[in-house]
Structure 1
């Protein structure tokens, strides 16, 4: 049991794999919120989540709930919600890390979460048919969609095997998901906020890879620069004696007859010293 627990702890928290890290954090948050809700009156757990941790579409609330641009991405509305997101994060996240770096994963993941939330808020505030005052957003879907979109843009012809469908190329799989989200962006949709966030995340993942292919890495600000060492300059030591001109002339004659490569190491050093003087 101890070995199994240590192995899980290493894979989730110490392996350096950000996909596994976020899977673990999401599971922990889901359990804590679920258990905490048991000690509150009925429906009060959902109320506190929506009131204090979910991302609001109402721009007037942003100065007081600025932290929700991060917290919303760790919250889920039910077991199927978190299960679906984490399975896709596991599959697409590890595939992403086969081709790109962990720092690039971090930028795509959080860039997708932020752009997805802003896309959700933008449409809710622009559309007269949507209620921006009471709309909130939770879930890691936008961040996961950004990872999915990024890897599908980078290696569009990479195939994954799906139950009942066989091998499917990533570009076609992404296209299906995008179309589903586009169709779901209607005022009567039960998950219009989530669909908008998915599209925002997908757009960020696509833009990131296209920028990378053009030579601009949006994650370059995370590259650690090497520390510069200060070295005290010392005055060069003066030669104790002048170079013997006769010796130099003999070396030059030898070069003219047999070439520089036939000089001894001592003769080359003597010539070098003379050139500095």
Structure 2
């Protein structure tokens, strides 16, 4: 099988974490290739594409590129930046999925990234030390989204043990607090200030999401529904409706609703099993049922 087909198959069959990593890497490769072509052609270090996809600190600039609130969280330019973010997304995404479902992870990724961007923009236009940089400041990277995933997991399961090299087992909540302290110090040191502010915004959203889930409220549901509707606008619709006749009679509304309730009951049972014993405790059929439900 050609490499392109293998990658396509891996993306299609992979979970939400795998797909997010593939998208980030794909954007990184495309941007770097286009940058190489651009610099060789125009001999100009200013690369417009990264500015169009990065989120600006200036609200006036944001008005003309509102898409950047989404695109920035998939954009990386330096190799070490994307390597660290993708490794962190892989590790903590798997922990997140032990307690939450794939659609919740996707919602937290997007909403955590947006929260980080909003705190970044607000800070650059509120604090005097940053206001002079606001007209030209831009930000990129998945860090805020990843921080949201980390802190959601830490809030929901604070005693989960993470094994760190040369350190050993550490409680997830302690690791999350250490990361937050480093970001606060980074803001004070004026070292990558925008990035550290975005991390804090993502972390705050992760905490808020998990605290609401603990109370029985999933704040990602409406966002995921909005994204589904938005994507459906651009999805290609068939020009002709094709009907297939079978020997099966159409289901009545009562039968359809009963089948729907049965499927939902099965998914609820699977989610409870994940909370009690972890994702690895699921059978192959249960994993397939959960995957199919997350893509419906």
Same fold (TM over 0.5): yes
Query: C-alpha distance in 2, partners of 1:159/1:230?
Result: 48
In 1: Cα distance, 2:70 partner to 2:113 partner: 8
Shift in CA distance, 229/62, structure 1 to aligned 2, threshold 3 Å: farther
Matched-pair contact (CA < 8 Å) for 1:36–1:45: no
- Return closer, same or farther for 1:142/1:26 CA change in 2, 3 Å cut-off: same
Measured on the aligned residues, the alpha-carbon RMSD in Å equals 2.3
**In the alignment, what sits opposite 1:254?**
none
Say whether 1:167 aligns with 2:166: no
Q: CA, structure 1 residues 52+7, in 2 after alignment: closer, same or farther (shift >3 Å)?
A: closer
Structural mapping, 1:82-97, within 5 Å: 82-97=82-97
The question of whether the paired residues in 1 share the 8 Å contact of 2:38 and 2:47 is answered with no
Report the Cα offset of residue 8 of structure 1: 4.7
Name the counterpart of 1:26. 24
How big is the shift at 1:129? 1.4
Q: Which has the higher helix share?
A: 2
Report 1:40-79 matches (<5 A).
Answer: 40-41=38-39, 44=44, 47-79=47-79
Query: Unaligned stretches of 5+ in structure 2?
Result: 229-250, 255-296
What aligned pairs does 1:1-277 form with structure 2 within 5 A after superposition?
A: 2=1, 8-15=7-14, 17-41=15-39, 44=44, 47-130=47-130, 131-186=133-188, 189-221=190-222, 222=224
TM-score, normalised relative to structure 1: 0.75
C-alpha distance after superposition, 1:150-176 (max 9, x if no partner): 111111101111111111110110011
**Which moved further from structure 2: 81-90 or 34-43?**
34-43
Per the alignment, residue 264 of structure 1 pairs with none
State the distance in 1 between where 2:216 and 2:252 align: 30
* Contact 1:145–1:201 (CA under 8 A) maintained in structure 2: yes
Runs of 4+ in 1 over 6 A off after TM superposition: none
8 Å CA contact 1:13, 1:20 repeated in 2? no
Which has the larger Rg? 1
Structure 1 residues 46 and 72: alpha-carbon distance in aligned structure 2, compared to 1, 3 A threshold: farther
Distance 1:5 1:94 in 2: 26
Question: Equivalents in 2 of 1:65, 1:140: separation in Å?
Answer: 18
Q: 1:46 to 1:155 in 2, by over 3 A?
A: farther
Structure 1 residues 88-115: Cα deviation after superposition (integer angstroms, max 9, x where no partner): 0000011111221011111111110000
The 1:35/1:7 distance shift into structure 2, 3 A limit, reads: closer
Q: Rate the CA distance shift 1:7–1:159 in 2: closer, same or farther, 3 A.
A: farther
Extract unaligned runs of 5+ from structure 1.
Answer: 232-277
Distance change >3 Å, CA 133–CA 4, structure 1 → 2 = closer
The 3-state SS of whatever aligns with 2:129 is: coil
Task: For residues 196-240 of structure 1, give each alpha carbon's deviation from its aligned partner in whole angstroms, at most 9, with x where no partner exists.
Answer: 00000000000000011112111333479xxx9668xxxxxxxxx
- Once residues 230 and 158 of structure 1 are traced to their aligned partners in structure 2, the CA distance between those partners, rounded to angstroms, is 45
Structure 1 residues 184 and 38, CA, compared in 2 at 3 Å: closer, same or farther?
Answer: same
